[in-house]
Structure 1
Amino acid sequence: MGALKPWHIILLVVVIVVIFGSKRLPDAARSLGRSMRIMKAETKGLMDDEKDKAKEDLVEKADAQSGRAPLTGEVQQNADPVQRERVADR
């Protein structure tokens, strides 16, 4: 009872053709494909944004531990004196 048999699929196709008509089915399939492509691209973009955010967080954490100002390379006031000399020498 749980498995789809070939006659179930044939009946389903016939019902879909009767409801939508044979002329509108290619357009519907095309727009469904476009929608799926857009969704895939947006999902990939969100995943890439999350990876970029995670990398930024790691860089900021490393900068905070080393005493540098985030993304500028400048030394913060509470940095150790050796690092201040290194930056001053540059």
Structure 2
Amino acid sequence: MLKSIGTGELAVIAAMVFFFVGGRKLPELARGIGDSIREFKKATKEEV
């Protein structure tokens, strides 16, 4: 599904996120996404 998304589309999505979230909350949002990905990877490794 994500293979069909190009660089231009990713740039538009990033700009929209920046616009809606704002510059001040963007690091907090990125940190939360990173923590979520880390927990997901940890959970998938534990199940195997």
TM-score normalised according to structure 2 size: 0.68
Runs of 4+ aligned residues of structure 1 deviating over 6 Å after TM superposition are: none
Distance 1:14 1:44 in 2: 33
Stretches of structure 2 that go unaligned for 5 or more consecutive residues are none
- Which structure features the higher share of helix residues? 2
Distance 1:42 1:3 in 2: 27
RMSD of aligned alpha carbons: 2.2
Q: Select the structure of larger CA radius of gyration.
A: 1
Stretches of structure 1 that go unaligned for 5 or more consecutive residues are 48-90
What secondary structure sits across from 1:23 in the alignment? coil
What are the within-5 Å matches in structure 2 for residues 2-81 of structure 1? 4=6, 6=8, 8=9, 9=11, 12=12, 13-47=14-48
Identity rate, percent:
26
Distance 2:23 2:40 in 1: 26
Letter of the 1:32 counterpart: I
Select the structure with the greater relative contact order (CA < 8 A; seq sep ≥ 6): 2
Q: How many residues align?
A: 43
Letter of the 1:44 counterpart: K
Change in 2 beyond 3 A, CA 1:37/1:4: closer
Distance 1:3 1:42 in 2: 27
